[in-house]
């Protein structure tokens, strides 16, 4: 009865003839197929799940060197295709989060969901994972989350987060933010204050022009890297992710874009995710927060809105200021992790072993 509803519409058919297999990530000692391919490797170079407002899910993938890809949801096959494809899946039952298993004809598969977690009281709550690294591994989903403020979460939201196994919440906000909009956390979760701007003096005066607003944002990004508060806070986050094997770990600030953005950029960079992918994840806050930001700006006079907009945005120049500060102070990102956050090579290997697949 559900067959027609669950049928996937494959928009792009297999393109194996035009795709050339490239070396995948290998792991010494793992068994290989007859043609020499590492069975532990993940052939997917791209794979995403995008939930639609109508309850549909769009699945996109590219898996070089494969001939067949099968995708399951709730244990049932909902899509099939070749090395590259797109499928639109409808008729799945409502769930806190719909997961899909992407299985290629060789190598390891992926367990993916839409990155956004839909909540009534937050607009920028999303999964930190689901990205491919430069070595061909993938960051696990369902382990680490990032978000905007939690003070408006409803009882249903909190119940959902409890079912998603949110065990530790890191609050990256300043004292006055925490006082004015106290966190609501799911039952059983630990709450940890990790004030990024503690003692930094950031945002003590409001900018008067758009240029001053941009400068305030880039200066704040540098302070996240160089300031003692930032180093301590991000050390807490990294240590918490390593320590909490029960998962899941959540870190957040007010808008979930700047302090939270650098936390996630640091984590993804440490795991080996390419810079362009990290930037795309960072800039996605502009999309997730668009309706909320537009509502704020629409109530301001034009001149004031022009000054305020850079404070609501995320821009490449903001993120680049953080990376530039890392280079200026530490030389390399690994040195930032080691000397700034206390994450040595052994701990970094453990973090990768814990959060990466493939």
Q: How far is CA 223 from the centre of its chain?
A: 22
With beta carbons less than 8 A apart as the criterion, state whether 63 and 104 touch. yes
**Residues 194, 196, 201, 202, Cα dihedral to 10°:** -140
Q: Which of 94, 80, 123 has its CA nearest to residue 284?
A: 123
With beta carbons less than 8 A apart as the criterion, state whether 254 and 307 touch. no
Relative to beta strand 144-147, strand 126-127 is antiparallel
Give the Cα separation of 134 and 14 in Å (integer): 25
Give the Cα separation of 353 and 135 in Å (integer): 13
Question: Prior bond to 248 cis, omega within 30?
Answer: yes
Catalytic one of 41, 225, 253, 341? 253
Q: Which of 19, 17, 11, 88 has its CA nearest to residue 49?
A: 88
Q: What would you measure as the largest C-alpha separation in the chain, in angstroms?
A: 68
DSSP 129: -
Listed in sequence order, the residues at least 6 apart from 89 whose beta carbon sits closer than 8 Å to its beta carbon are: 6, 8, 56, 57, 58, 59, 73, 78, 79
Q: How far is CA 2 from the centre of its chain?
A: 33
Is 253 a residue of the active site? yes
Q: How far is CA 30 from the centre of its chain?
A: 29
Q: Which of 150, 349, 130, 128 has its CA nearest to residue 248?
A: 128
With beta carbons less than 8 A apart as the criterion, state whether 311 and 254 touch. no
Q: How far is CA 125 from CA 116, 145, 298, in A?
A: 6, 7, 24
The residues assigned a catalytic role are 253
């Amino acid at each position: 009865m559900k067959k027609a509803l669950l049928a996937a519409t494959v928009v792009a058919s297999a393109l194996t003839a035009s795709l050339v297999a490239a070396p995948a990530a290998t792991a010494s000692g793992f068994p290989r197929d007859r043609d020499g391919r590492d069975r532990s490797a993940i052939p997917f170079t791209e794979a995403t799940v995008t939930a639609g407002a109508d309850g549909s899910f769009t699945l996109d993938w590219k898996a070089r060197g494969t001939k067949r890809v099968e995708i399951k949801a709730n244990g049932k096959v909902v899509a099939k295709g070749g090395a590259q494809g797109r499928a639109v899946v409808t008729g799945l039952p409502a769930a806190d989060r719909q997961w899909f298993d992407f299985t290629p004809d060789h190598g390891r598969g992926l367990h993916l969901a839409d990155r956004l977690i839909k909540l009534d009281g937050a607009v920028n709550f999303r999964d930190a994972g689901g990205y491919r690294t430069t070595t061909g591994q993938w960051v696990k989903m369902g382990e680490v989350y990032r978000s905007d403020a939690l003070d408006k979460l409803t009882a249903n939201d909190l119940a959902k987060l409890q079912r998603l196994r949110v065990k530790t919440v890191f609050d990256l906000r300043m004292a006055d933010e925490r006082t004015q909009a106290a966190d609501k956390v799911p039952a059983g979760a630990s709450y940890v204050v990790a004030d990024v701007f503690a003692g930094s003096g950031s945002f003590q005066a409001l900018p008067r022009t758009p240029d001053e607003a941009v400068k305030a944002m880039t200066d704040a990004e540098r302070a996240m890297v160089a300031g003692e508060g930032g180093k301590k806070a991000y050390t807490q986050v990294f240590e918490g992710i390593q320590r909490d094997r029960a998962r899941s770990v959540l870190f957040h600030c007010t808008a979930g874009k700047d302090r939270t953005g650098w936390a996630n950029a640091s984590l993804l960079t440490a795991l080996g995710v390419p810079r362009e992918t990290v930037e795309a994840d960072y800039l996605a806050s502009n999309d997730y927060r668009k309706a909320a930001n537009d509502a704020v700006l629409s109530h301001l006079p034009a001149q004031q809105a022009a000054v305020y907009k850079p404070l609501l945005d995320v821009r490449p120049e903001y993120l680049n200021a953080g990376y530039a500060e890392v280079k200026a102070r530490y030389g390399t990102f690994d040195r930032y992790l080691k000397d700034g956050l206390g994450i040595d090579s052994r701990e970094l290997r453990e973090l990768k072993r814990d959060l990466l697949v493939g």
